[in-house]
A and B are shown apart, each in its own frame.
Chain A
Amino acid sequence: MKLTDIIITANHNLFRSKTRTILTIIAIFIGSFTIILSNAINSGVNDFIDKQIESAGGDGYLEIMPTAVTENAVMALSGNGAVEYKETGNAPSEQPYITNEQIEKVRAIDGVESFDVLHTTTVDYITSNKIDKKYKLFNLNLVPRGNVNLDVTAGRKPDSESTNLEIALTEDLTKTLGFENAEAAIGETVTLAIPNTIDCYTAATHSECQRQVTATVVGVQAPGVMASGGPRANLALFEKVHELASDGMSQETKSQAYQATAQVDPARVDEIKAKLKDIGLTAMTIDDQVGMIRTFFDAILVVFNIFGGIALLAAAIGIINTLFMSVQERTREIGLEKALGMSSGKIFLSFSTEAILLGFWGSVLGIALSMLIGFGLNALAHATFLADLPTFNIVVFNPINMLIIALIIMLIAFIAGTAPAIRAAKKDPINSLRYE
């Protein structure tokens, strides 16, 4: 028999006992569906993370904190009991803020291209000349320097090398501040109110101790993870805000900072991170920060894959069972085919093909339904919580992955089918023809 004839005949034979075959296919489908959909969701999440990292650019961009701060946080979270206090003098690792000594050391490291200390900034409100209302601003962040991209729908990324006071708004804020659209906001100014720490100790009302600064809108950020950080200032504006807030403080207090960012040679990130650790600073790349999310989703994927695997194992037993029944039922037919000159090898092949076809249909069904549900989920997500992120799909289907999963399932089906197929191949034509 030709291979095409074997496949066509096997498929025809399968659907002779429809109920049994369909039930077996459903069992395989449960496994394939679980594995395909959970892998597609995982790809979606990873894709999203990758896109964000990519859109952030950020090769060699580090966020830096004193190690003491991160350790304290870990200690507090893990509840690791009491730690004995030891007098360590002014050891840098014990400092909760970044010292001048540390700053100098960092700047001296080979491969560090820029290093910006982030002083804590508080902004009371933001407003523009288009509106009377003032809006609270919870967060003013620095635009990362160097090759970190800022996705803008209009204008450009604020220039950290410039001495002009520049700001990039978010799309939401652009509307709130009375600008018609993103384009219209470019070149306009916004006003920030900053409370001066010293003055506000003594002032009767907050407005008395506020200082104002006017910044030029140079860009509007596209929705995305970066935009969730709120409006972003260039270094000049950021320093200005800090200066207004700390005016009147001692030089030492003024310069205290708890965070810093650095742009380093991307090829030497690991080496520099190690050096920073020696200085008493912990650095994280954008990758490190999202790594935790990735690990979480990978763990979920493993759980789903195990579940799918167990379903497939049960399905494999179903395949063995259904094929043994079919060999039994078709004993005479096998005898006839052998009498008419079909070889044992071909008999084996035709039953194996039935097994593989069971796997094939189970996979096809799994792929079809998971794609249907996947696209449904994507549409639902875009209509609701992902409305701001039109480019992101929570379910991403990778054809090669799906093909590999289908092939593995067909291989499992083939292996399950070998025992019944061998039994069929071994049948003796005369005895089989006698079989009632």
Chain B
Amino acid sequence: MPNTVIEAKNLTKTYGKKSAAFTALKNINLKIYEGESVAIVGKSGSGKSTLMHLLALLDRPTKGEIYVDGKNASNLKNNDLNKLRNERFGFVFQQFFMNANNTVLENVLLPLKIAKISRKERKKQAEAALKIVDLESKMKNKAVDLSGGQKQRVCIARAVVNNPQIIFADEPTGNLDSATGDKITDLLFELNKKQGVTLIVVTHDEDLAKLCNRIVRISDGKIISDQTVRKDYQKQASRKRETEAARVRNANEKKGGKK
């Protein structure tokens, strides 16, 4: 059985107070295993992004707990939370969030800059990440000058630049035409298959969802179905675990040593 990387227990999230209160998530229980690719599918407003933000420790649940590697995240100090997100998570947000006036390279290396990685090293890693998304040539361009698809690829590069264990992607193909969308999808699943990166993809696109080995459907803040379509990921995961995870951890230790 593969390791559980993230576990949600009785997760409830209520926005607003009193009469304006709105419960976006109701009593969610979910376990995500290492190396999985999970699609979170549902109608607009069903609570997909909310769930992803909670799993990614960007927000705190109103009720319930989230365990990362078996540890209760609500017991973590802010600094440890920040470090966890910075070193082990990669994010692709629903709208591509970039600092428009910075260069593509600056945008991609932001997580490494926050991680206090040296100038030379972070440039090297950011260039490597841009190579993966095939945008090395745009390195020096301002982010604002890119096309929509290119922007999303920059966001993918930023999400993978820190060699994350888990990538959270909120509608990664939402704003893109199908050809560009496919390219993004390929990139993400390649990381999942070749490097054993756990993938959590929020989408309303059934085609994208079908590529994942597991589909979690939510409606009105509740999980209405949770099917594991394929189990082949387990083989990949265990195969990659020794090699890739060790490499990632080594890299993380190196980063830690620099502080």
By a beta-carbon cutoff of 8 Å, the part of chain A in contact with chain B is: 1-2, 5, 9, 16, 332-333, 335-337, 339-344, 346, 428-430, 433
Contacts and interface: CB of A to CB of B under 8 A. Distances in A.
A433 B78 contact: no
A9 B113 CA distance: 10
Nearest to B93: A433
Contact of A5 (B85, B93, B113): B113
B221 interface: no
B85 A340 contact: yes
Contact of B111 (A333, A340, A433): A340
Given A429-B58, A430-B58, A341 B111 contact: yes
A312 B58 CA distance: 40
The 3 closest A-B pairs by CB, nearest first: A341-B86, A341-B82, A341-B85
Contacts of B91: 339-340
Contacts of A343: 78-79, 82
Given A339-B93, A340-B110, 14 more contacts: A1-B113, A1-B114, A333-B99, A336-B97, A336-B110, A339-B58, A339-B85, A340-B85, A340-B91, A341-B85, A343-B78, A429-B58, A429-B59, A433-B97
B82 A342 contact: yes
B168 to A, nearest CB: 10
A355 B58 CA distance: 28
A9 B116 CA distance: 13
Contact of A340 (B53, B114, B116): B114
Nearest to A431: B59
A334 to B, nearest CB: 11
Residue among B83, B85, B113 with max Cβ neighbours from chain A (10 Å): B113
B36 interface: no
B115 interface: yes
Interface in B17-68: 53, 58-59
A1 B116 contact: yes
Interface of B: 53, 58-59, 78-79, 82-87, 91, 93, 97, 99, 101, 110-111, 113-116
Contacts of A2: 116
B81 to A, nearest CB: 8
Nearest to B54: A430
A19 to B, nearest CB: 15
Give chain B's interface secondary structure class.
helix
Contacts of B111: 340-341
B115 A341 contact: yes
Nearest to B87: A341
7 contacts: A1-B114, A5-B113, A332-B97, A340-B85, A341-B84, A341-B114, A342-B86
Contacts of B85: 339-341
A337 B58 contact: no
A430 B113 contact: no
Nearest to B168: A339
Contacts of A342: 82, 86, 114
Nearest to B258: A2
Nearest to A342: B114
Contacts of B110: 336-337, 340
Contacts of A9: 113
A393 B97 CA distance: 58
B38 to A, nearest CB: 20
Residue among A1, A337, A433 with max Cβ neighbours from chain B (10 Å): A433
A344 B81 CA distance: 12
Contacts of A16: 101
Nearest to A4: B119
Nearest to B117: A2
B113 to A, nearest CB: 6
Contacts of A1: 113-114, 116
A340 to B, nearest CB: 5
A428 B97 CA distance: 15
A341 B85 CA distance: 6
Contacts of A428: 59
Contact of A430 (B59, B99, B101, B116): B59
A337 B58 CA distance: 11
A267 B141 CA distance: 75
Contacts of A430: 53, 58-59
Contacts of B93: 336, 339, 433
A344 B78 contact: yes
B121 to A, nearest CB: 12
A1 B118 CA distance: 10
Nearest to B114: A342
A344 B77 CA distance: 13
A9 B110 CA distance: 11
A1 B115 CA distance: 6
A95 B113 CA distance: 85
Nearest to A343: B82
Nearest to A340: B111
A337 B85 CA distance: 11
B146 to A, nearest CB: 17
A16 B101 CA distance: 8
B83 A341 contact: yes
Nearest to B159: A340
A47 to B, nearest CB: 46
A430 B49 CA distance: 10
B186 to A, nearest CB: 24
A341 B116 CA distance: 11
Contacts of B86: 340-342
A342 B58 CA distance: 12
Contacts of B87: 341
Contacts of A344: 78
B122 to A, nearest CB: 10
Contacts of B113: 1, 5, 9
Contacts of B84: 341
A337 B83 CA distance: 12
A56 B215 CA distance: 96
B80 to A, nearest CB: 10
A219 B85 CA distance: 85
Nearest to B56: A339
A429 B91 CA distance: 13
A5 B114 CA distance: 9
A336 B86 CA distance: 11
A16 B111 CA distance: 21
